[in-house]
Chains A and B, each alone.
Chain A
Amino acid sequence: MDFGPHLFLALLEGTVSAFVLAVTALGLSLVFGVMRVVNVAHGEFYMLGAVLAWWLTTLLAGSPMIGFGVALIVAPLIVGAVAFAADWLILRRIDYQPEATIVATIGMLYIIQQLVLTFYGPDARPVEPPFYFRVSFPWFGYSGYKLIVVGASALLLLGVWLAMARTKFGLYMRATQQNQEMAQAFGVPVRRVYAMVFALGAMLAAAAGVLVVPIQQAHYLMGLDPLLLSFIVVIVGGLGSLRGTVVAAFIIGLSDGVISVFFSPTLAKIIATLFVAMVLVYRPSGLFGQPEEEQ
């Protein structure tokens, strides 16, 4: 294919992956930013969203659109409940100590993965997109649903931003993120905020999983890559900055696509990976992060 269309295609692909990445990473950004804990099970919430979407759409096999719509609402709610329980049962008990949280979330990862393997099985299963149409450009065809994903992700991002900026809960979250002790002194119910944030983070991951599953398939091991990518996006964007997360998602999503135009796939991935690393080496607090004030 000629260079121009090739680049255009790469940019399209990059945009789609950037948006999906932004939504997936958003949940982690909130958890990381507000609670300062590393949730290794974040990818598993994403996977649960996808698997539950498969289950719900199979249950409501009549119309793909209704089934998918229900999945988009119900799956995140279920996953949110699971996360809320996990926080209440486990994370709270270990007082959110960083290293203990890592081990605990690894344990959660194993449990969720095994439960899904047992009840859902090892196969990758597809989910019908609610609409399926092909957009014909002069040089290539493209999935219409992918473009829908871009729109839906943008809406989700906007929704979260509005919630953070305009609602009381958003205020609590931002206060806790900036200075937990001060927030507590001002009467913010920090423990409850933590639980809600953890649940919200999981719900966003699950929503991303539901949106993505018609493009990929639901598979019990699909959570690992989104986990890694989300981490990268959150850190490069800067801890505690939603704007940073979104910008970083774009830089990473687009650069991956564009670099792959020029190099062989694996080499492109190597270059993209090292590029991200060097960004962090020269800007350790990320693009928009504040240098850490606390000890």
Chain B
Amino acid sequence: MSSAKGKGARIVALHLAVIAALFAVQFLLPAYHHGNLARIMVFASFAVGYNLLLGYTGLLSLGHAMFFAAGMYGAGLPLYYFDVGVLQAFGLGLLASFGLALSFGLLALRASGIAFLIVTLMFAQAFFLATLYFNEITLGDQGFVLSEQARTLTLGGVVMSFADPTVKYNAALLLFSCCMLGCLALVRSPIGRVWVAIRENEPRTRMLGYDTYRYKLLALVLSGVICGAAGAGYALLFAYVGSTFASIQYSIFALLWTLLGGVGTVLGPLVGAGLMFYLVDIAGDFTSSYLLVVGVVLLLLILWYPKGLLGSLRARWLPWLP
């Protein structure tokens, strides 16, 4: 019977091993999958942020695309119009999503449960429409392209262009590692335990003396910032900013990736994002009706693994998986 410390070490080791594996595999992968994995890691970061709110705090949102998009526009607009540096742009992206998440949380957390769900949906819709309304600045759904010069970072004499595949991959890996390890640290901390308590039984948690509103706000803001980081990352790595990423389907993607991988597991988002990506990609090779294949596979997966892949894994064999 491993001690609590031993178990903790095992958990950290597992997650570090995943990062190490992701680092190592870039030298083995053919070019196509190398590029795919960079994308998957950015989207997995988005899902990690989403999972923080849904999986651990128990708040279901259908509006997280707005945080992703806030990070994307927050980084992309200054870069496009004012040619600020890469790091500054990323910081501005984080700031934008922080601001949005905070103001949204202050307004919306009065509602809970299903009402909260709709409020997130409505705010996200309004945000999407706003990106269209202010199209003189945002260039609307057509969006804009970030040049390669804008996406070049010079650190200590080393010039790194985000168009370069190696830079792209490692930047995506860095982004994902920070988000994932951050999430891991949070969920295993006392804050994380309060979140889980809120998820399981909020009135009782309140009775125990915790200010659940403050904890929920914290979760929402952190979730928003992580999603914003992913959005800023997408803009910097893939050179495109547009309203499409603020639309409802991207909120549904975050939900889908999280649920498929295993809601409430730290690594679930990575599994979910990767699986969906390859499911669609491979199905598309065989048939033009790939959506059908995807739908069927989703159904089969959820029938056998209703808690998602890692969630079911945890339930059956690995109860210590965070």
A interface vs B, CB < 8 Å? Answer: 40, 90, 93-95, 97, 99-100, 102-104, 106-111, 113-115, 117-118, 224, 228, 231-232, 235-236, 239, 266-267, 269-270, 273-274, 276-278, 280-282, 284-286, 292, 295
Contacts and interface: CB of A to CB of B under 8 A. Distances in A.
Contacts of B114: 235, 239
23 contacts: A93-B303, A100-B306, A100-B307, A102-B259, A103-B301, A103-B302, A104-B302, A106-B295, A107-B299, A107-B302, A111-B296, A114-B289, A114-B295, A224-B248, A236-B118, A273-B126, A280-B119, A280-B122, A281-B110, A281-B111, A285-B115, A286-B115, A295-B201
Interface in B108-145: 108, 110-119, 121-123, 125-126, 129-130, 132-133
Contacts of A232: 118, 121-122
- Among A99, A113, A292, max chain B CB count under 10 A is at A99
The interface centre, meaning the residue of B111, B130, B299 with most chain A CB atoms within 10 A of its CB, is B299
Nearest to B306: A100
Interface of B: 107-108, 110-119, 121-123, 125-126, 129-130, 132-133, 201, 248, 252, 255-256, 259-260, 263, 289-292, 294-299, 301-303, 306-307
B185 to A, nearest CB: 25
**Chain A facing B: main interface SS:** helix
A94 B312 CA distance: 13
A90 B292 contact: no
Contact of B295 (A109, A282, A286): A109
A33 to B, nearest CB: 11
Contacts of A236: 118
A117 B289 CA distance: 9
What 6 A-B pairs come out closest when comparing CB atoms?
A110-B295, A107-B298, A111-B295, A277-B122, A114-B291, A284-B115
B263 to A, nearest CB: 6
Contacts of B255: 102
A115 B306 CA distance: 25
B278 to A, nearest CB: 16
Given A103-B259, A285-B115, A277 B295 contact: no
B122 A106 contact: no
B142 to A, nearest CB: 15
Given A114-B290, A232-B118, A273-B126, 6 more contacts: A100-B302, A100-B306, A104-B299, A108-B299, A277-B123, A284-B116
Nearest to B292: A114
Contact of B125 (A110, A111, A273): A273
A228 B248 contact: yes
Contact of B123 (A93, A269, A274): A274
Contacts of B295: 106-111, 114
Secondary structure class of chain B's binding surface, majority of residues:
helix
A275 to B, nearest CB: 9
B121 A231 contact: yes
A94 B302 contact: yes
B114, B121, B255, B256: most-surrounded residue (chain A CB, <10 A): B114
Nearest to A233: B118
Contacts of B296: 107, 111
Contact of A280 (B111, B133, B252, B289): B111
Contacts of A111: 291-292, 295-296, 299
Residue from A93, A115, A270 with most neighbouring chain B CB atoms (10 Å): A270
B123 A282 contact: no
Contacts of B294: 107, 110
A235 B252 CA distance: 19
B108 to A, nearest CB: 6
A284 B259 contact: no
Nearest to A97: B306
Nearest to B258: A99
A40 B256 CA distance: 12
B273 to A, nearest CB: 14
B256 A106 contact: yes
Nearest to B204: A295
B201 A110 contact: no
Nearest to B303: A93
Contact of B126 (A108, A231, A270, A286): A270
Contact of A235 (B117, B130, B132, B259): B117
By CB atoms of chain A within 10 A, which of B259, B263, B297 has the most? B259
A235 B133 contact: no
A39 B252 CA distance: 13
Nearest to A98: B60
Contact of A115 (B108, B133, B292, B297): B292
A236 B290 CA distance: 36
A99 B265 CA distance: 14
B292 A266 contact: no
Contacts of B298: 103-104, 106-107, 110
Contacts of B289: 114, 117-118
Interface centre among A93, A95, A273, A276 (most CB of B within 10 A): A273
Contacts of A106: 252, 256, 295, 298
A40 B253 CA distance: 13
A99 B263 contact: yes
A227 B175 CA distance: 34
A95 B133 CA distance: 43
